[in-house]
Structure 1
Amino acid sequence: MKLPVLEEHKVELFVKREDLIHPFISGNKFRKLKYNIKEAKNQQKKTILTFGGAFSNHILATAVAGNLNGLKTIAIIRGDELGRDLEKTLSNNSTLREAKKNGMTFEFVSREAYRNKTSEEFVNKLKEKFGDFYTIPEGGTNDFAIKGCEEILTKEDSKFDYICCAVGTGGTISGLINSAKKHQKVIGFPALKGDFLQNEIHQFVRNKENWRLNTDYHFGGYAKYNEDLVSFINQFKEETTILLDPIYTGKMVFGIIDLIKKNKFSEQRKILAIHTGGIQGIGGFNEKLKKKNQQIIKS
């Protein structure tokens, strides 16, 4: 990146464009699904079932990946009210609309039921209704996902001092932590409030202390934002041609730049930011901004 703030503080910032892998199965979604798809085929499963919210990038990526691999896909969607008028829901939701185009079947459940989605009773009901399926958890994070995310960093990336990524379920950063070199520090920027992610990550990393979470840039929590964030995303796009999303990567890069301004990185350090995709969700986000007569993200 060529930005005045970087020259002023004598720090180098690079962005790894994982978002360019595929229009819908981009970034960490490709990495997380890669070995899960292989495992589903190894188990000779014909159907993949997963979970998520109505605007989940993971839901759409699973639908497209399943379609490309000849697998049926089912999504358990949080919010039973969305299923009462499916045509209306699809007309207002590009994520679910595109997923349906790729053959995905939706099961809308109440928020209360959704909280119990991993219970034996809930799973048995799904099996009664849909038959045999391969399960991928909400957000896609499991051991197969971590294996995929470990492949994000390559030998050429060993020149960087810091690896930065946005954090949702903890899968992507776990893969980065496992594959980072001894001299590298991995910094995660959670998109959600709370400290529970520490425990999630510890489940997947192999006794490593080369990482930390910076919880100062979640902007109030998941999908929360303010005008400063939207303005930053638009300015960054104008200066670099790189589009960031407001849920994950926008908050991460905002945090990185802010830390650079506060001299939290020593001079001559090289920072690598992982662009994990999520761009396809901007359309739906802009619809919300328009309804509030607020500045939209210029894509």
Structure 2
Amino acid sequence: MQNSLTSLVQQILLKNEKNVQLYIKREDLIHPFISGNKYRKLKYNIKKAKSINKAKILTFGGAYSNHIAATAWAGKESGLATIGVIRGEELEKRINENPTLSFAQSCGMQFLFITREEYRNKSNLEFIEILKSKFGDFYLIPEGGTNELAVKGCEEILNDDDSIFNFICTCVGTGGTISGLINTSEKHQKILGFPALKGDFLQEDIRKFAKQDNWRLILQYHFGGYGKINTELITFINSFKNKYDIPLDPIYTGKMMFGICDLIAKNYFPENSKVLIIHTGGLQGISGMNLRLKRKNLPLIEE
């Protein structure tokens, strides 16, 4: 994995009364298989695993986890074995029907499928010891990839050229990406996080890593919770792609962009604000979401 990367920044021409200027940092383009914040989060964790002579990485994720897919490829690229502890034992018999898991398996990832009840123990030390007795010694990366090394990687998203922006917007899952952005942002900048999960519990998780107070979570654009989606959001994502040639995923970036456009319409941003949006990737999850949408006879997301 490379030491430094510079992302393409594109302007989004969106007419509005207050001349709010929108730009998007295309972190989704930095790597074909480990895109966006997953690349940033894994970068120093992979280096650490190799520096302490760990031969295996073990991590956790759900059926269509961006983190599982990215870890599988990063392990393959770095010569490390990977183990994915997957939420939902019923998925074991449906790997070939699942684009994320079949991709991870093609990269050499070994799976352990567990019940949702067992999965709640993913941070429990006794459970980790059971996993060590099963798989041997490994380097542990938490669900979603967020730890201190992940935050360090995400601190490299912003560079000196980004100091012209008044607002930095990102979607939020486990809090690692926004923490990195907070830590390298300028004092005049406000960091806005758009959680994909319902609820306000992420505040404390972010405060564990964030070194400044120039941030806020925008809580009203989760569309019912993690993985929840409706026709309005699908229509928005497809329309945005057709208009700007920028794909969005339905779990994270689609909801964030919907929220940003809605806030602009509601005059949330001061006049002449410059807003930088971080595209955190996650596009591999579209195929899996479309399988769910097909079963529900809902419109599909354009791939």
Q: TM-score, normalised by structure 1?
A: 0.96
Match of 1:212 among 187, 204, 216: 216
Q: Secondary structure at the match of 1:5?
A: coil
Counterpart contact for 2:43–2:150, Cα < 8 Å: yes
Matches within 5 A, 1:50-199: 50-83=59-92, 85=93, 89-199=94-204
- Matched length: 293
Code of the residue aligned with 1:100 in structure 2: it is Q
Query: What CA distance in whole angstroms lies between the structure 2 residues aligned with 1:181 and 1:134?
Result: 34
Structure 1: segments with no counterpart, 5+ residues? none
Counterpart contact for 1:52–1:59, Cα < 8 Å: yes
Q: TM-score, normalised by structure 2?
A: 0.95
Q: Secondary structure at the match of 1:235?
A: helix
Query: What CA distance in whole angstroms lies between the structure 2 residues aligned with 1:115 and 1:291?
Result: 28
Q: Secondary structure at the match of 2:15?
A: helix
1:286 paired to 2:285: no
1:259 paired to 2:269: no
Identity, % of aligned positions: 62
Counterpart contact for 1:165–1:188, Cα < 8 Å: yes
Q: Secondary structure at the match of 1:245?
A: coil
Counterpart contact for 1:29–1:58, Cα < 8 Å: yes
Query: What CA distance in whole angstroms lies between the structure 2 residues aligned with 1:80 and 1:229?
Result: 30
Counterpart contact for 1:191–1:248, Cα < 8 Å: yes
Match of 1:295 among 291, 296, 299: 299
Counterpart contact for 2:233–2:250, Cα < 8 Å: yes
Q: Secondary structure at the match of 1:279?
A: coil
Post-superposition Cα deviations, 1:132-166, rounded to whole Å, max 9, x if no partner, equal 10000000000000000000000000000000000
Code of the residue aligned with 1:269 in structure 2: it is S
Counterpart contact for 1:9–1:261, Cα < 8 Å: no
Post-superposition Cα deviations, 1:32-79, rounded to whole Å, max 9, x if no partner, equal 000000000111100000001111000010000000000000011011
Query: Shift of residue 23 of structure 1?
Result: 2.1
Query: What CA distance in whole angstroms lies between the structure 2 residues aligned with 1:232 and 1:5?
Result: 16
Structure 2: segments with no counterpart, 5+ residues? 1-10
Query: What CA distance in whole angstroms lies between the structure 2 residues aligned with 1:49 and 1:2?
Result: 39
Query: What CA distance in whole angstroms lies between the structure 1 residues aligned with 2:271 and 2:91?
Result: 51
1:223 paired to 2:227: yes
CA pair 2-53 structure 1, distance change in 2 beyond 3 A:
closer
Counterpart contact for 1:163–1:184, Cα < 8 Å: yes
Code of the residue aligned with 1:77 in structure 2: it is I
Post-superposition Cα deviations, 1:110-130, rounded to whole Å, max 9, x if no partner, equal 111111122222111111111
Query: What CA distance in whole angstroms lies between the structure 2 residues aligned with 1:52 and 1:242?
Result: 26
Query: Shift of residue 2 of structure 1?
Result: 4.3
RMSD of aligned residue pairs (Cα, Å): 1.0
Query: What CA distance in whole angstroms lies between the structure 2 residues aligned with 1:298 and 1:116?
Result: 36
Counterpart contact for 2:13–2:22, Cα < 8 Å: no
Matches within 5 A, 1:9-24: 9-24=18-33
Counterpart contact for 1:11–1:270, Cα < 8 Å: yes
The structure where helix makes up a greater share of residues is: 1
